[in-house]
């Protein structure tokens, strides 16, 4: 057992399996008391995929302190989750928003239900957890929020809702870091690369976008794919150390930043900045853009997403 997080209390949503399970285990091994939150038992053809009670029991058996929670991180449920942690352990120092759910579909086929589910869990749920955790986090000056974003935010065909939600998480992270920094609360985001088994439905819906995804989902920040990217359990274990380190005092100077984690490589991603600028007194006109300014703004750009083997036009039939 380590001591980096001795005496601290953490909530990990979506901790009944996968990446969240690894977060919870490593937090506990460093001395944190962990509320293991997950909706309940979910099963796959291979067996049980998520079980908060099982993970909490594993932590306790290993000598740590944990309590399971099966409350959903909705607007009201988030308040209950935070209350559970504070009632059980007396305080709250760390919030790791890791829960995820969603649907993928072509833009023109997406339903409102699919959109609302995906954005509700991956963005609204994250904000709800932050909203209700903040009054407790500000009582310490070393509190931490970690939000789980995704490389899908770089552009992921058939994942418009998930991409939008996960990129929204980045904006939420930056704003929370700025707003809460004066209270000693840090907020960072990770973009983990851990590929689980695809469902048959997923394979069907994404088949025609395979070539385009190879372009848009290319690794960022110099992080080349590794064998770990195809092994969810192995990749999950590679992600947790960076998350837990960000929760420790060693990272007290780190906030408002995003980290891409791919196998053995962790990359700090750059923040948006101005690439090229043009100027004209009284603002740019259409004629000026046609003649000069537009060329300087865009002459180095190209449409990288035109494929010779384009989806057949019949895919647009609803």
Q: Determine the Cα–Cα distance for residues 73 and 80; give it in Å rounded to an integer.
A: 9
The pLDDT of residue 292: 83
Q: Which residue do the tokens 């609204």 mark?
A: 124
Please tell me the predicted confidence (pLDDT) of residue 113. Answer: 96
> Which structural domains are found in the chain, ordered by start?
9-268 (3.40.50.720), 286-316 (no CATH)
> Distance (Å, rounded) from C-alpha 239 to C-alpha 231?
12
Query: Cα(65)–Cα(58) distance, rounded to whole angstroms?
Result: 10
Pairing of strands 33-37, 94-97: unpaired
- Residue 75 is classified by DSSP as H
Measured distance CA(11)–CA(84) in Å, rounded: 10
Report the half-sphere exposure of 225 (CA within 13 A, side-chain side).
10
Coil vs helix vs strand at 217: coil
* 3 state SS of 6: coil
Question: Over the chain (318 residues), what is each successive 10-residue block's mean pLDDT?
Answer: 93 95 97 94 57 96 97 96 98 97 88 96 98 97 96 87 97 98 97 64 61 54 49 77 97 97 92 91 90 85 73 50
Instruction: Give the number of other CB atoms < 10 A from CB of residue 195.
Output: 12
Q: What is the pLDDT of residue 48?
A: 54
Task: With H, G, I as helix, E, B as strand and everything else as coil, classify residue 272.
Answer: coil
Side-chain half-sphere of 192: how many Cα atoms within 13 Å?
Answer: 30
**Of 162, 202, 234, 279, which residue is the catalytic one?**
162
Q: Are 105 and 159 in contact (CB under 8 A)?
A: no
HSE value, Cβ hemisphere, 13 Å, CA-based, for 212: 19
Please indicate whether residue 305 is annotated as part of the active site: no
Pseudo-torsion of CA 284, 286, 291, 295, nearest 10°? 70
């Amino acid at each position: 057992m380590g001591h980096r997080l001795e005496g601290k209390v953490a909530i990990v949503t979506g901790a009944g399996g996968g990446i969240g399970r690894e977060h919870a285990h490593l937090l506990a091994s460093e001395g944190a008391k962990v509320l293991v939150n997950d909706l309940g038992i979910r099963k796959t053809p291979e067996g049980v995929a998520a079980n908060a009670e099982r993970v909490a029991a594993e932590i306790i058996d290993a000598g740590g302190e944990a309590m399971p929670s099966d409350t959903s991180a909705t607007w009201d449920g988030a308040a209950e989750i935070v209350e559970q942690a504070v009632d059980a352990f007396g305080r709250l120092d760390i919030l790791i928003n890791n829960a995820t759910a969603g649907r993928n579909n072509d833009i023109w086929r997406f339903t409102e239900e699919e959109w609302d589910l995906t954005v509700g869990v991956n963005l609204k749920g994250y904000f709800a957890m932050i909203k209700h955790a903040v009054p407790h986090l500000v009582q310490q000056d070393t509190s931490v929020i970690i939000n789980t974003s995704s490389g899908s935010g770089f552009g992921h065909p058939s994942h418009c809702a998930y991409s939008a939600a996960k990129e929204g998480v980045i904006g939420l992270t930056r704003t929370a870091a700025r707003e809460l920094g004066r209270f000693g609360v840090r907020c960072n985001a990770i973009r983990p690369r851990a590929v689980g088994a695809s469902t048959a439905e997923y394979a069907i819906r994404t088949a025609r976008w395979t070539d385009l995804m190879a372009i848009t989902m290319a690794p960022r920040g110099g992080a080349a794919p590794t064998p770990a990217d195809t092994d969810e359990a192995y990749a999950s274990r590679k992600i947790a150390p960076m998350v837990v380190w960000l929760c420790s005092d060693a990272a007290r100077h780190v906030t408002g930043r995003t980290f891409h984690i791919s196998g053995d490589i962790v990359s700090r991603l750059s923040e948006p900045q101005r690439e090229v600028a043009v100027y004209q007194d009284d603002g740019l006109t259409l004629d000026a853009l046609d003649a000069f300014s537009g060329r300087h703004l865009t002459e180095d750009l190209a449409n990288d997403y035109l494929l010779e083997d384009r989806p057949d036009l019949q895919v647009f039939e609803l």
